[in-house]
Structure 1
Amino acid sequence: MQVKLMSEWVTNFLAAIFSMTIILSVLSEDIQSIVTNTIFVAVLFAFQRRLILNNNALITKSQFVLLGKTIHVFNRQSIDLSAITEAVLTQRRYKYDLNITYEQGGGHKISHFSFWRQGELVKKLLAMSSVNYVFKTSAKQHTQSINKSERGNATKETVSDIFHLNSFRPTDIKTHHSILRFALPLPDNKKKVVFSVVGVCLFFAITVVVSAQNWMAGCVFLSVAYLSYWLTRAYLCNQYYFIAQSPQSDIIVNSDSLSLPALLFEDRQARELNKEQVRDIRVQWNYYIAGSLTDNWTHDKVKRPYVVNLTFFTDKGVTLPLNDMGVNGQPLLLALTHNQYPVSIEKTDKQALPILTHVRIAVIFAIVGIVISSLIRFI
């Protein structure tokens, strides 16, 4: 038994639309366009991506099939039915989402599948496979934080919806999550050192411009002053948050305990917590705009989710806030929600990935410097 996945419906829909190009090519009597468009539409129609029940396993297969014969299989994933620990089927009007959690390679993985208007067929497949699943008729509880600023409880479905888990490959539920020390907040007592270094670099830049009238060298010193802030900040944070007595810098998420490293607490002491000692894990996220280069060499604006703030509230203290630069937020949230820790999530108006703004400023400075240098040489 097999069910079409959403990606196959999409390619079939595109194939139906592009079929019109064949008609237009015939009307224009362009033989080359007829052949090219026919091959392109045939490839789209030949694409198949199915969820298949085969003996004691659920198999997802991506392949090209022409006239009932398999031409090429380019992706295949098998999930042993005995390894499945949880299955959740969620209905979103005509769209159905299936999240399957299973054991593989000594750890847990989660796979996400989407279907179009095939809810009864998916239920029949799960029933035939004897997999116990939970059916939810509304996704509002899981996705209320996606486009609203309301705080709600996060689940695996919420994390999947916001961070767009790749359905072509399973996502590992990791135990260890590394923290980058240089990306943590700069301590107040270290800010003077950073600004002093920046001030010295600015002084040299101004001196070179005023005394030698060398704008090129001045721009170089200005760039160095700009970079010195980030380099000095990263160095000081890396040194400050390295604790020799407790060098461990990983968050360890187990089913019944949570280990938080000493660098996250003001008293610089590590915490070993039971699940009952974790009161809340507050998460704020927002989109940032990322440019992507399309096939026609144009840039499209793509929204990508970013964890702006992640803070642990426990019976043994509150941690420093983390973001996606300090820790990879998606795997951490997936592990926390999988092990049913209390996670609350909300969309915030705070800027996501603020370093992008500084990168753009640096690019503008570089362009302006090149323009000024070219004008000086021309004049």
Structure 2
Amino acid sequence: MNEKPLIYKGRAASSNQVSRFDPYSREALDDGWGSLDEEAPPLRTEVSLDASKSVINYIQSPDLPFDRTLNPYRGCEHGCIYCYARPTHAYLGMSPGLDFESRLLMKADAVGLLKKELAHPKYQCAPIALGMNTDSYQPIEREYQLTRKIIQVLSEANHPFSLVTKSSLVERDIDLIAPMAAKGLASIYLSITTLDRQVARRLEPRAAAPERRFETLRKLSDAGIPTGVMVAPVIPALTDCDMEHILEKAHQAGARKAGYVFLRLPLELTDLFQDWLQQYFPLKASHVMSLVKQSRGGKTYQSEFGKRMRGEGIFADLLANRFKLSCNKLGMSGERTGFRKDLFVVPDFWRQKPASSQLALF
């Protein structure tokens, strides 16, 4: 008997699939009371404290235009079914499925840790990319305001940063970001996957609607903040048809930078995404996955540098050419340039003075 999929309002995953580290698997069992046919109970978001000892993550990837990132939260309430960060929840002993979008962790000590790391004598200034793993402006940011506090720290130190988000909540912090942008210290990208509201609602259940993101781009641009658009991810036979239109609308809204990422399905994400396809787009499922495999050397994912973000083969090359032609036509660049590092300064009160071994006389 096929297990009835769990359908939670505002959630994209339909299961709490065990992680690759879990030695046990689970399956639904009929207890004789028809419990398998009942509607799923409400799934509330739970937030726990994260005990990280540092907040700046250093990376070495030729695919990325930055070498360090900062993520205030683990897990993401936006619940995007395609999110390549879902498998990271397995490191926490939780499921990349529903746990990823409902059991979140916040780095309560992020501000103190960031000040400590920036004040280290050996620290060398370079742009920090915020929210590269999970969205810095996901819904719980309204309450905890960690991202705003982090931007305040970066502002005090004149430290450059870039940020990618699917949320219009970034508008709240224009008062902090615009002055930094005027100094060449900030740029904001909006990630826009599709123009279809119904597809977006199922793909990214708790992210801002597509048209709302274009409105945010315009407000940021009008405030003098350099903006860009990430067409990410591009899902073959489902969202790729919107690529040119997204770029055009983003350009009209003031974006002058652009990038795209081909659908990435690492580890547990492959099964989660295929289950989602079968649930919402059963007639397209086999076509979508066929194109994915054609663009991934016969697999559902490639982890090699140079291929993981773009794919390979005829379809992937076609996407790359379409993107390049559209950007050339619109005059949009893919380079994240213009950040100043010479303004960086650590406020004296951040520096921890070593404790003296000399006892006080009085």
TM bracket (short chain): under 0.3
The TM-score normalised by the length of structure 1 is 0.21
Q: Which has the larger radius of gyration?
A: 1
The TM-score normalised by the length of structure 2 is 0.22
Higher relative contact order (CA 8 A, sep 6+): 2
Going by fraction, where is strand more abundant, 1 or 2? 1
Going by fraction, where is helix more abundant, 1 or 2? 1
